[in-house]
Chains A and B, each alone.
Chain A
Amino acid sequence: MPDHSLQHVAGADVPLLEVDHVVVQFGGVTAVNEATFVAEAGTVTGLIGPNGAGKTTCFNVISGLQKPTRGKVRFRGRNVTGAPVHRRSKRGMGRTFQRLEAFGSLSVRDNVRVAYDIHRGLAGLVKPGAKDIDALLERVGISAYADERADSIPTGTARLLELARCLAGDPKLLLLDEPSSGLDETETDDFGDLLRDLAAEGRGILMVEHDMDLVMGVCDTIHVLDFGSIIASGTPGDIRRDPAVQRAYLGYSDDVPEHELVGARAGVGAGAVEETRTDLVPVGAASDATTVIPAVGATTPEDVR
């Protein structure tokens, strides 16, 4: 069911999620550098970039698993930068993991049941209807695995399980970290449809994904992250045409599969990478070439935590 309550809470013009000049440094290495982007309710937003660009780190910051060195995260109009993981979840944030975090020793069904237990708290002692659980499994298309141990199912299935587990909490925002890896072509198509459905319910979806066909096919907006900075934001068409993105990420053609790209990039050596870097259009210019990043912060009343 679409939930419109957030419009009442935060006002219709406040984005669901705002990442505002977030910086994450590990020792001397800057993993995320002044990243600023938004994800809107009812849309699918893609976060793409080469390996090591800082996508998962961004996710960790948004979901609360990593404290940013600087910058803010606002969720449903409220600053949640210092809020613990579970509180963000209670506020309507769900996430899946690139490295699987399914509850391996529980069955697939119990994985979802636990999510219901946690979501409903003490009220959950009233047994959640098995119907709800089975309906969720059905929805993401893994009913056939319901009674298997979660550490014995294929990777792609486990990713869908993580999604089902999130959905048990009826989140307003879904953070999906490479959700389609391990899925075959048909499954990926079904998955794309599911994403559109979920967005149509009013949920915001922010997705890190390497399958360019999927990203270009489902996303309303795409942010491109490279070396920790957002180098471009826009519609799939904009991103496809953006020269900076082509140089930094897509290579010279968007037909090149991702793993080859990674190999090529790793192979060019440090000097060549440097060269690529100097060729990059400055962030501001890149933004001009595409959709201008909405000026968050300026429009948002700062909530006190």
Chain B
Amino acid sequence: MSSLISFTILGLFTGAAYAIAASGLVLTYTTTRVFNIAHGAFGMVMAFVFWDFSQRQGLNLFLSLFLVLGVIAPAIGWGIQRFVTKGLGEGPVSVALVVTVGLFVGLIGLAQQVWPPEPRTVPPFMASSGVQLGDTYVTAHQIITIVISIGVALALYVLLNRTRIGTAMRASVDNPELLRLFGGKPDTVAALSWAIGISLAALGGILLSSVIGLSYYDLTLLVINAYAAAMLGRLKSLPLTFVGAMGLGILQSFAVAYLPSDGFLAGTRAVVPALFLFVVIVLMPQAQLRIGQVKGIVSAPLPSITKSVGWGGALLVLVALLVGGGMSTANLLLVGTAATYAMVMLSLVLLTGYGGHVSLAQLTFAGVGALAYAKLEQPNLAGLFLAAAIAAGVGALVALPVLRLTGLYLALSTLAFGVLMDKMIFQAEFAFGFNGTLQAGRLSVLGNAIESTGGYVLVMTLFLVLMGIALLLLRRGPLGRVLIAMRDSPAACGTLGLDMRWFRVGLFGLSAGMAGLAGALFAGLRGTIGAADFQFFNSLPLLLLAVVFGVTSVTGATLGGVGLMLLPVMQSNNPGIAGLIFAILGFGAVALGRDPNGLANLMFGLGRRIQAVVLPQLRDKLPVLPGSRADAPDDGEDAGLDDLLPETPDATGKVPAHA
């Protein structure tokens, strides 16, 4: 019996810490409609700052606490709302998600840069004190945490129900514009709730850091626990959030206590929050369609099919030259990796760029494809496509529980799915095994095995090109138009008779299938693959690079693939600034995330301008030979410029409507 009590108290303690963090998340989400994926990352960084003050610099404990919770965290929250997330709540969910994922990755990079990995400990509060409760010893830290969580609950209740600013906060939940009309200050309210929210994240992080350690990832992923709890209150109700957090804490504690420590069920111990989240999401009521959203997003121009084929041919020729030029196997593998990432990013172009949905676990779907390919042991086209189909099925399964809900929940469930696969499935015996690997054969096409790495990389590039062209064809067809329409106005699509729920499941499945195909090809390229190749966390830089380079265009995805391949190369070449590279990527995405057309679109625009200015002059000088095509790759100087332009010449700079 005593163990039951002690595990309950342990559960209440972690639950209390989750509750504190989760209430901050709910506060920021309800007042600004921005779901802060980086909530846990802020808690993590603040825990490091607290460690820095109290341990490294040896400041007084209470002074350190005051500085972190009362000064730095609120100031950061205020600043983030003022300069980063302001106005995001009214825009598409995908943009807000990408920006906060950028913060997430950036903060982890920042923490690694400022506090390089080394063992650090945060002593619990009043480490030597505790209370003997029967057979159970309750530490003072646990009691303090539980008491603080009750204090936070009371303080929030008083703030929201008994103060003017709290009333304004509740008003801005419903309608910030109306609040403004009545003389309220929605901006102040928003900044204040972010200040409080980040402070609560910091408090949660600090209270837990003495138990789970100062880890970049573990503390950051607390956001999953926090939002699993918050989801019980539908991201609105603070009391239900507290109930959810306590329940989750106890559930987790019992899982550790009573589930077997080996075998398949052992894996579930680490994923209790993710499972909890799925259950809550499945039980959530149908979401109503929102009307009056922002629409008319300007997308990257769509290239003509001839142009795309020309470009794809050029890419193939380039890779063929690299292969023929005697590139080292190591570098060839990197080219193949870039092609893999580019294909995964193409799946994001479909899902995010065209469809407006965000997946935070796209690399996990690639992992599913790779796993299926290795397990099937059919290294031929049939095996390849079957593996892709399995990944597609898994993708559809992930989207299925959130069938009735909005895009935010779909994204959150992919995050939970990624963690689940990482910790439970990929490392299980029937999959890659714990720290294990699987062998995968090189693909053979029509009975001809492609054994040479160069040839295989060429085949992968061919797949990339074909996938890109297929995507563009799809985009031009009815499906593509419906996707754009759905992004512009879901309500109108519904009233026109589109069943968006199943459409979304299909879209998600197709996208996961594309990523799965990439993963399967990658497995063949490497020959040996393991869970580490498809770590969930790497899906986030993937998403960010896709957005930075342009998640609305095939060109952006191709460039992004190269970028993601280069990221670890750059990091291993410059280990001193490995964290900084991450930070730059993350915060760069924060800066660029509002325009999902990314750098690729800037390039297109530049190309258009060059064409408008330079081409007429060149055309005057060069006589055009009859029969020569302007976009043929070997057509001299002006053709090279023309090739830069995947869109039909439109010198006026006017945004073309989607054709």
| A interface residues with partner B (beta carbon < 8 Å) | 60, 63-67, 84-87, 89-90, 93-95, 97, 99, 101-107, 110-111, 113-115, 117-119, 124-125, 147-151, 162, 165-166, 168-169
Contacts and interface: CB of A to CB of B under 8 A. Distances in A.
B497 A101 contact: no
Secondary structure dominating the interface of B: loop
A89 B491 contact: no
A166 B421 CA distance: 44
Given A65-B291, A149-B655, A118 B498 contact: yes
Nearest to B501: A84
A132 to B, nearest CB: 14
Interface in B466-499: 477-478, 481-482, 484-485, 487-489, 491-499
Interface in B48-106: none
Contacts of A102: 295, 488-489, 492
B169 to A, nearest CB: 16
Contacts of B659: 107
A65 B290 CA distance: 8
Contacts of A110: 481, 657-658
Contacts of A115: 496
A97 B496 contact: no
Given A118-B482, A148-B657, A104 B288 contact: no
A94 B478 contact: no
Interface stretch (B110-118, B246-254, B296-304, B408-416): B296-304
Contacts of A107: 657-659
A117 B481 contact: yes
Contacts of A104: 295-297, 488-489
B292 interface: yes
Given A63-B495, A165-B496, A105 B288 contact: no
19 contacts: A64-B494, A85-B289, A85-B494, A86-B494, A86-B500, A89-B496, A93-B495, A94-B495, A97-B492, A101-B291, A104-B295, A105-B295, A105-B657, A106-B488, A113-B478, A114-B482, A115-B496, A149-B657, A169-B497
Nearest to B488: A103
B495 A105 contact: no
Contacts of B482: 114, 117-118
B478 A97 contact: no
The CB with the most chain B CB atoms within 10 A, among A86, A94, A106, is that of A86
B296 to A, nearest CB: 3
Nearest to A97: B291
Given A84-B494, A85-B491, A165-B496, 5 more contacts: A101-B492, A103-B488, A110-B658, A149-B655, A149-B657
Contacts of B297: 104-105
Nearest to A93: B495
A119 B496 contact: yes
Contacts of B658: 105-107, 110
Interface string B644-655: 000000000001
B601 to A, nearest CB: 14
A124 B497 CA distance: 13
A165 to B, nearest CB: 7
Q: Shortest 6 CB-CB distances between A and B: which pairs? A: A104-B296, A151-B296, A89-B497, A107-B657, A85-B494, A101-B492
A111 B482 CA distance: 9
Contacts of A99: 291-292
Contact of A106 (B491, B497, B657): B657
B481 A101 contact: no
Given A124-B478, A149-B655, A105 B484 contact: yes
